[in-house]
Each structure stands twice: as C-alpha cells, then as structure tokens.
Amino acid sequence: MGDDGELVDRLRAGDEAAFVVLVDKYHAPMVRFAATFVPSRAVAEEVAQEAWLGVVRGIAKFEGRSSLRTWLFSIVANCGRRAGTREHRETPVDIRDGPVVPEERFGRHGEWTSPPVPWADDAVERIAAGQVLGRLKECFAALPEAQRQAVLLRDLEGLPSAEVCGVLGITEGNLRVLLHRGRARIRNMAEVELGRS
C-alpha cells in the first residue's frame, strides 16, 4: 500500500507514467480474476480494460479504506459480473456443504481406513518444478466459478478474508465453505498425482 499511495496521488493528478506503472503491476492479475467471470481470455482482457476506465474515472473517489489492489479487484468483479450476464453465462452460487473427503475413506467410527498417502519430504519442490504444477493449475481452472474466485483472491493473491468477502459480496462463513471445497479438491488431486510418482 505504501508505494501505491503515491501512485494513487499521481494518477489523480493525471500522470500517465503512474498509470503505466499501475498497469504493469496489476493488469495481469486483473485479467486472471476477470477470466473467472467470462468464457474466454479475450473477453477477460476487455473486462480488465473496462475496469481500468472505471479506475481512471473513479480514482478521485477512492478513499483508501481498502488497499488499492482490493479496490481494483472490486471494480473487475463489477465489470466481470455485467460481462458474464451479457455472455449469458450461468453463475450458479455453489455454496453447498458436505464432506470434502469421500465417506468411504473412513470406517464405522469415523477413523481413517484409507489415510492420506504421505508425501515425500521434497514433494513441494517436485510439485513446483514438474508437471504436477500443470495439473494443479488445471484443477484450479476446473473449480466451479465461486470456488475459483474465492481460492484465487484468498490463496493466489493473498487478500485478507474480509476484503475477499467485500469483493465477492459474500459472508465470511460462505467464503470458508468455498475455500474448504476448492482447496480440498486441489489437495485431493495433488495426493493422487504424488501417489503415482
């Protein structure tokens, strides 16, 4: 936020160089987030572009109560929702509850009968380096929209939960359900991948 405060002031004053610095810093994550609302990368670029227009027009009113990054994501979310509707995308709210580890892995007393396969000590390095990372990315991309948005903002972008809730317009309880399901799916997939190697 420190650096951004100065950039915000300069952008308010119409400083093009500040705009370019912000684009270099935030456009790629904005497109990635926009892509969770619309069907293609091309449309996501348009959404991010529209969001930048919102930023330039709205910067005078930005009060700095959230970080600039969170404010940018909120604008992308608004533009993304509108675009998603235009593209006739279904946006089912997927806040179901239910076990994230299949029931058949537990015995009669709720104890593991098929426990997690232990990972090797260097699992993280192997995952990060190899094709497992590619599979993790695919798994992330295949999450239902609401789970993908939650995991993206909380775990990939590292936003505080309260700010994620603000951007997505959901409660902390709903955010936890979405994270719980999304993260479990990705871990389950990693377990399968690493069990093979």
Site residues for another protein per CB under 8 A: 14, 16, 19-20, 23-24, 27-29, 31-32, 45, 49, 52-53, 56-57, 99-101, 103, 106, 109-112, 115-116, 118-119, 123-124, 127-128, 133, 136-137, 140, 151, 155-156, 158, 161, 172, 176, 179-180, 183-184, 186-187, 190-191
* Nearest distance from C-beta of residue 126 to another protein, angstroms: 10
* Nearest distance from C-beta of residue 84 to another protein, angstroms: 19
* Nearest distance from C-beta of residue 118 to another protein, angstroms: 6
Instruction: Determine the longest span between alpha carbons in the chain, in angstroms.
Output: 67
Measured from the CB atom, is 14 or 85 closer to another protein?
Answer: 14
Measured from the CB atom, is 3 or 85 closer to another protein?
Answer: 3
Query: Measuring CA to CA, which residue among 144, 149, 136 is closest to residue 193?
Result: 136
Mapping DSSP onto H, E and C, the string for the chain reads CHHHHHHHHHHHCCCHHHHHHHHHHHHHHHHHHHCCCCCCHHHHHHHHHHHHHHHHHHHHHCCCCCCHHHHHHHHHHHHHHHHHHHCCCCCCCCCCCCCCCCHHHECCCCCECCCCCCCCCCHHHHHHHCHHHHHHHHHHHCCCHHHHHHHHHHHHCCCCHHHHHHHHCCCHHHHHHHHHHHHHHHHHHHHHHHHHC
Measured from the CB atom, is 1 or 53 closer to another protein?
Answer: 53
Measured from the CB atom, is 2 or 115 closer to another protein?
Answer: 115
Measured from the CB atom, is 14 or 64 closer to another protein?
Answer: 14
* Nearest distance from C-beta of residue 135 to another protein, angstroms: 11
Measured from the CB atom, is 22 or 84 closer to another protein?
Answer: 22
* Nearest distance from C-beta of residue 88 to another protein, angstroms: 26
* Nearest distance from C-beta of residue 8 to another protein, angstroms: 15
Amino acid type, 3:
D
From CA 130, how far away is CA 8, in angstroms rounded?
39
